[in-house]
Every structure is written in C-alpha cells, then in structure tokens.
Chains A and B, each alone.
Chain A
C-alpha cells in the first residue's frame, strides 16, 4: 500500500488488525495450550473443577511438588518406546525424500523438455493418481505383500510412499523445470555434453531452490501420512502418527492420555522448526501451481 490514496481509514484498520489477532489466536493457541498442558498431570489438563488448574498446575503441584512434570514424556518415550517410532519416522522420511527427488527430477526434467503428445497424457495420469486418496490403494497392496512376506517392513512402506509421492513430485518439478530456459541445456549440448551431463552439470545446479521446495513437500507427505503407514507397518516398525493413534486405544488407564499428549507435542516440534526455517520455500511451493495458471 504505497499510495497515499489507498491508505485505510482508521476504523477499518483497527477492524482488520483485530481480525488478524483473532485468527492468530485460533491458529496458534491450540498448539501453545497443548504444549503447556503436556507438562501437567491429566487431572490438570482435563480439569473438571477449574479450568485455571491447567495453567497453574495445582494438581501437578500436589503430586510432584512442582508445577511442571515430564511424566508424560517419560511415559511416552521410555515406557511406550516412542523413540523407536521417532527413529522409524526419521528413516522413512529421509529415504522417501531422497528417492522421490532422485526419480522425480529425472522424470520431471524429461517431461519439461519433451514436446511430444504423450507427455500430456503422462501428466494427466499423474494428476489422476495424485487425486486418488492413498487409502483406496491399500487393499491392493495387502494380498501380494502378505504373500511375499513383505508386509510390516520399513523398506516396503518407503517404496510405497515414494510411489504415492511421485505424481505430486513430478507435477511440481515439471513446473519448476519449465521456468529454466531450454537454451541452457542446448548450449551445454553444443559444448559437447550428453543430455544426462547437461542435466547433471548445468540444470541441477540452478534447480536447487525448486528441488528443496519439492523435497519439503515430499517430507511432509511422508511425515504426516496415517492411512498407508498404519495399514502397512507392523507394531514394531510404526512411525509416529500411527503410534500416536495406537496410544488412543489404551486411553482407559489413567495417565495414558498424557502419554499421547506428550507424543503429539513431540511430533509437532519438528514441523514447527521446519516452518521456521523454510517458511519462504513452503509459501512458494503452495503458490507454485496457482500462479502458473
């Protein structure tokens, strides 16, 4: 709003500021509340007597002598072995991101540099695959995976997640590659590069921003997946999200709810950090498809 004529009248300005604050509270408060409450006992976090107990931790003080307790975290990480799921999630996410970027850059590059008709049909097929809810494919996986004894293992899930990620990765990288002028690889080829060398030595170095953005979204897809990981992983190999869902089945016994709360907070922290460092890339990725058309 550079122009003076476009300056808002004070009433409108106040109103929009209040609205933004209101939205911020809606967006952020649930997370802060849960973070704060995860250090309390269940009777404070779910307080029938007085909601302020969740803030002051009255019951926690009675039980532990301080207003904060790491009991929930200890229960989740040590007793319920949440660290195992954290490790599994790390393995799954890193593998999925690496493999899908490798396959995706090759495929997306090819799609952006070929002008034959079949590239259109490949992109359409990818779009349809992207639109299908992943859970609709799960019943197709189960029989062969049981038959060949692949069910429940991490590598199987990684491969499945890579494949499910592929359509999205292809679309995103395809549109990033199209922004890079074709003259760049042509001049490389004139200098004696093969197509692959042109891709490897000339295109990829200028593609890093696009690759990082796409990688972020692959990471989020793998990290947040519940439908596939909960159906394809055995209990020992569960990643964080299905593990948290399995905590919920045992909420009857006291204290277990706080394990789930602590686990939820633990699983949110990496995402928090991710947004903090990569906000610009995430925003550019979200608007990527939009600005194009």
Chain B
C-alpha cells in the first residue's frame, strides 16, 4: 500500500488517538510537574482613632489574574513526586535511618499511603494472576473430558463472571459475603463465630478481594486454554501413553508444553489488567483496608476539590509501572515483527 493511501486510511484513528490519548498523556505529565498557585496575600492597614492595625487578606484580583496568566500553576519540578502523598522520599529516608531491621523499615513504609496502595496492587497482581491461570487450566482440562453437549453450557456459565462489569460482579459477591448475606452466614456458622465479618479485618479484606479477582479472571484463562487443548496433537499423547506415561506425566510432558505459549500470553494480559485493579475496591467498599494505584487516582479526582496535580503524579507513576510490566511483550512483538519482515 502506498504511503498516501495508508495515510488517508489511518488518519481517522490516528486523530482520535492523538487527541484523546497522546495529548491527555502529555497534559498529565505537565500537570504532575506543576502545583496550583497559592493565594496572593496582601497586608492591609486599617487605622482608626485607637491606632493602626495590620491584617492579612486574600488579594482576589491578583490571585485571579495570576491564575489566568499561568493556568498550569507554579512549577514544582519533581516536588509532587517526592511529597508525602507519593514517593515520600524524606519519610522513606528517615524510616531507613531510624528503624532497626528490615521488618521495622517495611512497617514504617507501610504507613505511607502511596506505598500501601503499591503493596496491595502488586500483591493482587502477582497472586491473582498465577492462581487464575492454575484454576483456568484445571477447569479447561476437566471440561475437555466432558460430553460434547455439556461443553457449550459450561462455557456459557463460565463466561458470566468475566463478562459482567467488575463493579457489578464485586457488588454481587459483596452482598453475599455481607455478615447478613448467605456466604457471610455460612462462614459464621462454619467458624462458630457469630461476630465474624470479612469487612472488619485488613487481612480478610485482602483475601476477599483476591478471591473476587480469581473468580473474575479465571474464565479468560479457561477459554484460552480450552481452545489450546482442541489443537492438542493426539498422536503424541497416544504414543506417550504407549511408552508408559501415567496420566499426570502426560499432562506434565505433553499437555503443558503444548499450551505453554498460551500461558505466557494469558499471564501478560492478566498482569496488565490486574495491575489496574480498581472497581472491586469501590464495590467491596474496602478502601479503608486496601487501596490500589487506580483507586488512589480516582480518590484524588472524585473529591470536592479535584486534586489534579496529585492525581496526575500518581497517573505518571502508574503508567511507568505498566511500561515495566509490558516490556517483555514489547520485546516479543519486536522479535515477531522482525521474523515476519
């Protein structure tokens, strides 16, 4: 295809992506480097027969003209990145000097909001992804041995947890594990503890969110692996059997190597998607115990005073995190492309 034809075909999407992804991205980076203007104060001297008093007032006119002149605000450089709400460099340094031992240091860091969000996001990402892959694989192998007519039905119901909006899915589970809901009741009965509430403890909240995460993402792994199992070479399987491989050995040496490329594919997609975990925290009303990076941004933006600089800074840090997670995919795509050309 000629350059010119390509240009006209590609122009509409390019414009959409430039205007609404690339430019906002630039704007986010800019905003993260500026903070809003402080109000301009002026000292007013009021004199009356008993003497003169000085009082400080806000100079509205000057403040507004300053805002109109430089709408971005004051240049702050990396200050917002390093403040207490984000990377908290001075607090981390102080914690490093003061605390004796690694445990105490991590405890001190765990009290900083950004690191708390980071800790949950990473734990969630790196626990839910492998668990969902394992569950998905087991389901795929079990479903594959079912009767043909049942398979469609099972796939239909399996797709549901994945396809519903994360907020709706987490609400549905949240209502069930409420201490008055059916699962909450069942757990109370199981542990013989009438005051048991999953919402009250940090640890249980994390477990609850991760169970939701696995429930939500396992179907994707299942569907992909199931498709992979359909192309399993039957001859290899049969000959391994003739060579005396047990069922477990067949899975280990034939099935798993066959779907290994799919496992990396699913893992990469899931890592990206789990890293943005956000809706469950809203749905489970869990922000007191668990916050994620995306929730952090949302919280800054949703308040009465929209903290744009702070939200932008977290956004930039989140995007950097995504890029790190994504780098293996990028390298792979690069290799694929070179092989093709």
* Contacting residues, chain A, for B325 (C-beta < 8 A): 131
Given the complex, which residues of A lie within 8 Å of B223, measured CB to CB? Answer: 283, 286-287
Q: Which B residue sits closest to A147, measured CB to CB?
A: B71
Interface flag for B66 (CB, 8 Å)? no
- Residues 101-122 of chain A, each 1 if its beta carbon lies under 8 Å from chain B, else 0: 0111011011101111000101
Bound CA–CA A133/B317 (angstroms): 12
Does any Cβ of B come within 8 Å of A204's Cβ?
Answer: no
Cα–Cα distance between A261 and B278 once the two chains are bound (Å): 21
Which residue of A has the minimal Cβ distance to B13? A107
Count: A-B pairs, CB below 8 Å: 289
Chain B residue numbers with a CB within 8 Å of A26 are 215
Q: Does B190 contact A (CB under 8 A)?
A: no
A268 within 8 A of B: yes
The reply on B275 being an interface residue by CB < 8 A is yes
Residue from B24, B178, B186, B278 with most neighbouring chain A CB atoms (10 Å): B24
Number of chain A residues close to chain B: CB under 8 A: 104
Among A1, A107, A163, the residue within 8 A (CB) of B9 is: A107
Contact of A291 with B227 in the complex, beta carbons under 8 Å: yes
One of B46-54, B93-101, B134-142 at the interface: B134-142
* Distance (whole angstroms) from the CB of B2 to the closest CB of chain A: 8
For the complex, what is the distance from the CA of A147 to the CA of B13, rounded to whole Å? 25
B44 at the interface (CB under 8 A from A): no
Contact A241 B319 (CB under 8 A): no
Assembly CA distance A139 to B28 (angstroms): 6
B142 / chain A contacts, CB cutoff of 8 Å: 16-17, 19-20, 23
A241-293, CB < 8 A from B: 241, 244-245, 248, 257, 260-261, 264, 267-268, 271-272, 274-276, 279, 282-283, 286-287, 289-291, 293
From residue 293 to 341 of chain B, which have CB atoms closer than 8 A to chain A? 294, 297-298, 300-302, 306, 308, 311-312, 315-316, 318-319, 322-323, 325-326, 329-330, 333-334, 336-337, 341
B278 touches A227 (CB 8 A): yes
Q: Which residues of B contact A271 (CB under 8 A)?
A: 160, 163-164
Given known contacts A31-B160, A116-B3, A226-B279, is B178 in contact with A46 (CB within 8 Å)?
Answer: yes
The reply to whether A48 and B168 contact each other, CB–CB distance below 8 Å, is no
Bound Cα distance from A166 to B15, whole angstroms: 11
Chain B at the A interface: mostly helix, strand, loop or mixed? helix
Query: Residue B165 contacts which of A12, A170, A199, A223 (CB distance < 8 angstroms)?
Result: A223
The A contact surface, by secondary structure, is helix
Q: Does A207 contact B (CB under 8 A)?
A: no
> Does A77 count as interface, using CB distance less than 8 angstroms?
no
B191 within 8 A of A: no
Given contacts A27-B157, A107-B10, A170-B13, 19 further A-B contacts (CB under 8 A): A3-B238, A6-B234, A6-B238, A12-B247, A27-B158, A28-B160, A51-B185, A107-B13, A131-B322, A140-B24, A140-B31, A159-B20, A227-B294, A244-B167, A248-B171, A271-B163, A275-B163, A282-B159, A286-B224
10 contacting pairs across A/B (C-beta < 8 A): A8-B247, A30-B173, A30-B176, A46-B175, A110-B9, A139-B311, A162-B20, A224-B164, A264-B168, A291-B227
Interface of B toward A, CB cutoff 8 Å: 1, 3, 5-6, 9-10, 12-14, 16-17, 19-21, 23-28, 31, 71, 138-139, 141-146, 152, 154-161, 163-168, 171-173, 175-176, 178, 180-182, 185-186, 215, 219-220, 223-224, 227-228, 231, 234, 237-238, 241-242, 247, 261-262, 265-266, 269, 272, 275-276, 278-279, 282, 285, 294, 297-298, 300-302, 306, 308, 311-312, 315-316, 318-319, 322-323, 325-326, 329-330, 333-334, 336-337, 341
Shortest Cβ-Cβ A-B pairs, 5 listed: A140-B24, A163-B20, A110-B9, A133-B276, A107-B13
